[in-house]
Amino acid sequence: MGIFAHVSDVHIDAGERSVQRAGRVFGYLAGLPTPPDAVIVTGDLADHGAESEYERLRDLVDLPIPVLWCPGNHDAREPYRKALLGEEPDARPINRAFEIAGTLILMLDSSIPGRNDGLLADETLEWLAAALANQPELPTLVCFHHPPVPLGIPFIDEIRQFGAERLAAVLERHPQVVAVLCGHAHTPAAATFAGRPLLVAPSVTSTLMLPFETDQVFDRDLPPMVAFHVLSDDRHLTTHYRVIL
């Protein structure tokens, strides 16, 4: 069985508010009596894509378990690579594969530099197809920032991931994919995509309000949340959401 914590949209900046909220979340995860097998962070790690923001995040996250990252629309690939990954700055999409607790976790880059909407580049889709073909025996989580379907929230649906039929065509060839994980929407949500669960992590920095709740777009005072994805040995996936006070 694998247990994977899932957070998103940390938006670390130069102020103290973002660090305080992120510290609550990562401190909660660090203090769990039984830690998850990994923490998945689906994008918008920095608020402005500055190298100093990634350095603040790197210093903040002190966990004895793997922390897996992927970029969002607020991130910038060159400083992200340098400060978080310890690599030479490079503008290519950032895609990574991890095998943890008998599960293949694929972290994809759905960002488009300079834009808020998302798209998986051809090279990212080719990378994904090769990773899935290389380890068909492992249950797999496919993770990225932008939701590939509308969520019923106009503000976010206008900047979702487009060209999603290309991704669906890849997933349909690989039944080992048990779920798709994303962020970007600043609200916990569940949908389906390509016949799999599509699970949206809540945001650390703020909560996006639903259009029928209020005229307010974001609530910055609601507490951050975290999702826990529990994957059983028979590939049954259960997700729990927790408020971090």
The per-residue pLDDT for range 131-140, each reduced to its tens digit, is 999 999 999 9
d(CA 142, CA 195): 13
* Kind and range of the H or E run holding 140: strand 140-143
Which range has the worst mean pLDDT, 10-14, 52-56, 74-78, 88-92? 88-92
Nearest to 9 by CA among 193, 203, 149: 203
d(CA 3, CA 233): 11
pTM: predicted TM-score of the whole model, two decimal places: 0.97
d(CA 5, CA 236): 16
In what order do the strands lie in the sheet containing 177-182?
A: 96-100, 103-107, 140-143, 177-182, 196-200, 189-193
Residue-wise pLDDT tens digits, 79-117: 999 999 999 999 999 999 999 999 999 999 999 999 999
Report pLDDT for 117: 98
Nearest to 65 by CA among 24, 106, 98: 98
Question: What average pLDDT does the segment 208-224 reach?
Answer: 94
Report pLDDT for 1: 86
DSSP state of 85: I
SS3 192: strand
pLDDT at 51 over 90: yes
Q: What is the overall mean pLDDT for the chain?
A: 97
| Residues 105/89, Cβ–Cβ less than 8 Å | no
Number of Cβ within a 10 Å radius of residue 182: 31
Report pLDDT for 195: 97
pLDDT at 206 over 90: yes
pLDDT at 9 over 90: yes
Report pLDDT for 142: 98
| Residues 33/3, Cβ–Cβ less than 8 Å | no
Strand pairing class (140-143; 177-182): parallel
The length of the chain is 245
Question: What average pLDDT does the segment 31-36 reach?
Answer: 96
pLDDT at 62 over 90: no
d(CA 8, CA 200): 9
Spatial CB neighbours of 112, under 8 Å, sequence gap ≥ 6? 73, 118, 119
pLDDT at 228 over 90: yes
- Pick 1 or 240 by higher pLDDT: 240
Which range has the worst mean pLDDT, 29-33, 103-107, 214-218? 214-218
Report pLDDT for 185: 98
